[in-house]
């Protein structure tokens, strides 16, 4: 678990306008962002996928989750989950 890899974070919102506002608020180097309508949560059907290439370190993941949550809360969003789903994202030395 020391090799950097893409870590996916999902943040959910009640509407597309909130999705867009969130993306605009956190857009900076190091984060890849995309959003879509999802059927995973009826109350918050809009989902932003935030991807950061990083070593999966507990403190760093928690810090990014805190940052995303604090940016999402004012526009009625919340963290949904995170994970590393694609082994091919792991950097090879």
What domain range includes position 9? 5-89
pLDDT confidence of 47, banded at 50, 70, 90?
Answer: very high
pLDDT of residue 86: 64
pTM for the model: 0.86
As for how many domains the chain has, the answer is 1
**CA-based diameter of the chain, in Å?**
43
What are 22-38's pLDDT values in tens digits?
999 998 877 999 999 98
- Rounded Cα–Cα distance for residues 35 and 55 (Å): 24
- Mean residue pLDDT of the chain comes to 89
Region of poorest pLDDT, from 16-20, 27-31, 63-67: 27-31
Q: Supply the CATH number for residue 15's domain.
A: 3.30.70.970
- CA 69 – CA 75 distance, rounded (Å): 10
């Amino acid at each position: 678990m020391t090799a950097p890899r893409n870590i996916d974070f999902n943040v959910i919102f009640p509407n597309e306008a909130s999705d867009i506002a969130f993306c605009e608020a956190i857009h900076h180097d190091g984060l890849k962002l995309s959003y879509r309508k999802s059927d995973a949560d009826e109350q918050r059907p809009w989902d932003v996928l935030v991807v950061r290439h990083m070593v999966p370190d507990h403190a760093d993941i928690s810090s990014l989750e805190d940052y995303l949550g604090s940016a999402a809360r004012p526009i009625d969003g919340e963290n949904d989950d995170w994970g590393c789903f694609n082994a091919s994202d792991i950097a090879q030395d």
